Structure 1
Amino acid sequence: MRFSLKELINTLFSRQSNHAPTSIKIANNDAAIVQKLPVSTSPLTDTQILSILDYWLDFELFDIPECPYDFKKGIVSEAAENFDNQWLNSEQSLPIIKNDSKLFIMFQCHRAGYLFVNNEESNSKPLHPNTVTPRTYLLGVALIPTLNTDAKTGNKYITWQLSEEDQDLVINLATIRTIYRKCRSSIPKNMSLTEWVESSFKSIEHLINKHLSGKEDPITGVQEAFTTEQLKKEIIEINRSIAREFWPTHASREFMENYAKAVEVTKQDKSDEAINPSKIRSDFEDTTTFRWRFCYYPDGNEQNQLGPFFANDLNNIAEVISKDSAKNNLSPALYQYFQGNEKQSLLGLR
């Protein structure tokens, strides 16, 4: 499994720290207030252009992923209890499987109310009444189905392999960063944000390799595929393990229970609430976990990590400018776009 995002994030953090004193600190200010800076007629400096590019890149990388709810396309994420009926029910016909078909699994699905928690007031509701709390997840992975035929019985069955394509792994960087900022009890003391993100990648990589990579055939070197029963077992184990990794302390579990509601909370179904078994029986493990969900894409996975601005392209442009200059390396049209009108107000934060 390749984790190409790690290098990209480290590069972004490094540039942000280098030009932090003079940059427009949008991405790193939790209680920011927009203010109008004095009108400027002079061209933007390379440092200011870098700040804009890094803000765009930050927005792409840390945009919170959402559980699919596209009813027009018929692509809607389903709760864990529907998995057996769709994939393990012998009386049910199997879904259509094509060359690009993928099953997307989302772990620790919840409503991200913690995004609206501020330092002055314990509030997990958006300030604007029309703002919808995102239905998100901590980690998403795609699996490739293969339709097989039993040689003896002629029965059809499916096996699964983990997709090795970078875009088929979705890590919720927005939540990981929010946990660092608003629930520091989950984080080892003296650990920087960069170190926390790096540690998160390592934890996720370990869980995926342990549970979804499959055993390697000693002769062919090909990883063995999972049966559907095996896959479900590993999914359940990952969902429990990742909760223990990211909110391991009592305070962090309380934080998630207070500010992260379950995806289907409107049903008032107890099974949709955050589950802490220790509150039911004292001999159970003290952990807080949300359920996993799944979504089947017969024509190819649409849950991709990188957005339409193409994060790698943004980073490449920023790297070139940092080594030379914007005017020498940007196209005239793009350079003019950054400069804007002769008379303009630069929005900053305080």
Structure 2
Amino acid sequence: MFKVLRDWMQRYFSNEEAVVLAVLLILAFTAVLTLGGMLAPVLAGMVLAFLMHGLVHGLERMRVPSGMAVGLVFTLFVGVLAAFMLILVPLLWHQLITLLNELPGMLGKWQSLLLLLPERYPHLVSDEQVLQAIESVRGELGKFGQWALTFSLSSLPLLVNIMIYFVLVPILVFFFLKDRELIGRWVRGYLPRERALITRVAQDMNRQIANYIRGKVIEIFLCGVATYIGFIAMGLNYAALLALLVGLSAVVPYVGTVVVTVPVAAIALFQWGWGDQFFYLMLVYGVIQVLDGNVLVPLLFSEAVNLHPVVIICAVLLFGGLWGFWGVFFAIPLATLFKAVLDAWPREQPPVAPLI
């Protein structure tokens, strides 16, 4: 047993750079797990600065001075943030409050529609199954109402935290953009001098994660805008709120699309019933999802590392359980990081036994 373990250690950890890389990864994940809540504004600022670094670099390649490029990109960021807070947030909040007020009426209409199913399809659905489904929905709505009441009573500390985010995060984004070279030199000063493996993995992951995050943000924006235009054109209620959900569903591959289809179909069913308008809306929604999956995603993520769907789902479940929304958002980059580390990991090949 000890010989097998010693041979395995000799094969995978005989290289000093590999040991250093493993220690750095363990320390980084430990720091995020233990201090992630306290350093959440710093992590959010790093992510946003990472997103905007491509714009700064593009302006610098156009021979715009570095300070001016940072100023222009940061001004654009503040303008987008202000527009989001002053225009989009009030609209979403109004639609959310209206939806919560109309939920009892929606439940009554859905109940009447469900009760028609046993009459139309007596061989497929029974009265008992429909009544059980209605009771189950009522129970879930009751739990949701209790959660909403608890959330409203404890919303003041949350609002304070949000205000702190909106003050600290832009400041951190500015300094991460302005002093990125200084911070990079400071970090490299604490790394070993012999770091060819670390540099190779870091460069590969910097390119892949940058492409993924920027592509994912573009996908969320385009899906949300296209869905909003389609829903507004069809006259669907709560178009902005549903479009936001559809855009954010792109964060979770495979699962997100299936989950967000339920509220879209439920609200359309409440508004129009089993009419032509309902099926036209679901057709428009399906076309947007097909274009996203078969045109937009291959175009944006053509350079992404190919991961098996099982690996993606496992990564979403694991990192989402550890870090919530950000864990879900970075599940694929983190899975790609592990794959890149495993591919680049130096290892000694076991000796080949002679044929004779």
TM bucket by the smaller chain?
Answer: under 0.3
TM-score by length of 1: 0.24
Structure with greater contact order relative to length (CA < 8 Å, sep ≥ 6)? 1
Please identify which structure carries the higher helix content: 2
Tell me the TM-score normalised to structure 2 length: 0.23
Q: Which has the larger radius of gyration?
A: 2
Q: Which of the pair is proportionally richer in strand?
A: 1
